[in-house]
């Protein structure tokens, strides 16, 4: 299905050139982008500081946005929000908005966790998104529009703009390499410094090496989840193609090329990767790679027998990994917005509502 180009797919220079081609000043492009970022217009017709003729032309030739907001949930006293967004083809994705208020030693930040694909083909056993399989890649514009949606939402509440973006939502970013890299470059023009961007990967080694050559000072997070190939083969099927030694070596090459530290993401699952030997092996890997470790207790997934260890056991595991490890108890799980939960909880809730409606003899209830 062919669609019109969108505002979010155009670079600033491309939009300025479009204005010039239409016989208007290039500054009109900047006015349009201010409306899109601040949410002061819901479409081109609402940008009343533009000439009426220009608004009509733009509305017919350019999409204001690529995604429609369908639903939103909130947790952590409003600090975490999950947005369900629908694309032009009816496919749905999720975006998570996380506010950190800061402290005496840390500054406040507003992070957007974006999806890069509809579903995911990697098939990690602890991840709800992987249960969907891969539906399609997102365009760079669809990725950028997730951040613009966050900007509008926070802006309308006088909370300030997004400051950080992490590619940790639905999908494997490096399987959608071209569009992900383009979206990072586009976001830099909206004010998101690449230094405040983190791309997470389950271990596509050739693409990791390619990303290191892009000249983007982003950070890379490796979704490791096991410290031995025997265990990781069970948790992350991709490990059979790119085992841990190759993956860590690629991470070190990335760090050496970019000067940016690589982090290791480690979802902790009771009885699978949470033993003393696992902690010792992870400690050695992190030390050898000079990497920080984020220990993440597994978030619950509907109909899955896997679960996280107790909080005390999680703390003991992180302590055994050593000073390079930080334990990250999820803030988003109550909104079904935490790592590995995306989409599955919404699907489960829809099934529950449909069953209720069927018993009542009425039409399915909206989600």
Instruction: Report the C-alpha gap between 58 and 65 in whole angstroms.
Output: 12
Which of the residues are catalytic?
94, 339
Alpha carbon distances (Å) from 42 to 24, 65, 145, 332: 22, 9, 13, 28
- Placement of tokens 């974006």 in the chain: 114
- Placement of tokens 């970019």 in the chain: 258
Instruction: Report the C-alpha gap between 212 and 253 in whole angstroms.
Output: 8
DSSP states of 252-273 as a string? HHHHHHH---EEEEEEE-TTTS
Instruction: Report the C-alpha gap between 181 and 174 in whole angstroms.
Output: 9
Strand duo 68-75 + 80-86: pairing: antiparallel
Instruction: Report the C-alpha gap between 145 and 127 in whole angstroms.
Output: 24
Instruction: Report the C-alpha gap between 189 and 47 in whole angstroms.
Output: 20
Start-to-end Cα distance in the chain: 26
In terms of DSSP H, where are the helices of the chain?
12-21, 27-38, 52-61, 140-156, 177-190, 205-212, 229-235, 244-258, 276-289, 311-321, 344-360
Which of 300, 307, 305 is CA-nearest to residue 270? 307
| Residue 152: partners with Cβ closer than 8 Å, 6 or more residues away | 37, 38, 39
Residue 23 half-sphere exposure toward CB, CA atoms < 13 A:
5
Instruction: Report the C-alpha gap between 83 and 81 in whole angstroms.
Output: 6
Which of 239, 243, 282 is CA-nearest to residue 264? 282
């Amino acid at each position: 299905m062919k669609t019109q180009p969108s505002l979010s797919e155009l670079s600033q220079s491309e939009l300025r050139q479009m204005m010039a081609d239409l016989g208007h000043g290039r500054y009109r492009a900047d006015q349009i982008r201010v409306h899109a970022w601040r949410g002061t217009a819901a479409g081109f017709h609402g940008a009343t500081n533009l000439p009426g003729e220009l608004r009509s032309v733009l509305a017919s030739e350019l999409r204001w946005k690529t995604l429609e907001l369908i639903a939103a949930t909130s947790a952590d006293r409003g600090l975490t929000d999950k947005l369900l967004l629908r694309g032009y083809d009816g496919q749905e994705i999720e975006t998570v908005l996380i506010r950190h208020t800061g402290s005496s030693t840390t500054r406040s930040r507003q992070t957007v966790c974006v999806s890069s694909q509809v579903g995911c083909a990697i098939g990690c056993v602890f991840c709800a998104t992987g249960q969907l399989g891969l539906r399609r890649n997102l365009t760079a514009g669809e990725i950028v529009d997730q951040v613009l949606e966050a900007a509008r939402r926070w802006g309308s509440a006088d909370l300030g703009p997004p400051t950080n973006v992490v590619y940790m939502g639905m999908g494997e970013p490096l399987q959608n390499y071209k569009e992900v890299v383009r979206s990072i470059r586009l976001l830099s023009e909206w004010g998101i410094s690449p230094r405040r961007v983190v791309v997470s990967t389950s271990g596509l080694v050739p693409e990791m090496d390619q990303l290191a050559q892009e000249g983007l000072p982003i950070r890379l997070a490796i979704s490791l989840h096991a410290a031995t190939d025997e265990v990781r083969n069970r948790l992350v099927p991709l490990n059979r193609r790119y085992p841990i030694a190759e993956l860590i070596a690629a991470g070190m090459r990335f760090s050496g090329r970019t000067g940016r530290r690589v982090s290791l993401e480690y979802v902790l699952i009771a009885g699978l990767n949470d033993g003393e030997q696992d902690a010792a092996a992870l400690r050695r890997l992190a030390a050898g790679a000079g990497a920080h470790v984020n220990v993440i207790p597994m978030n619950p997934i509907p109909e899955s027998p896997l679960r996280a260890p107790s909080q005390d056991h999680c703390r003991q595991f992180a302590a055994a990994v050593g000073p390079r490890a930080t334990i990250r108890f999820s803030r988003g799980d109550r909104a079904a917005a935490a790592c590995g939960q995306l989409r599955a909880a919404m699907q489960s809730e829809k099934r529950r509502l449909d069953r209720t409606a069927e018993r009542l003899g009425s039409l399915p209830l909206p989600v």
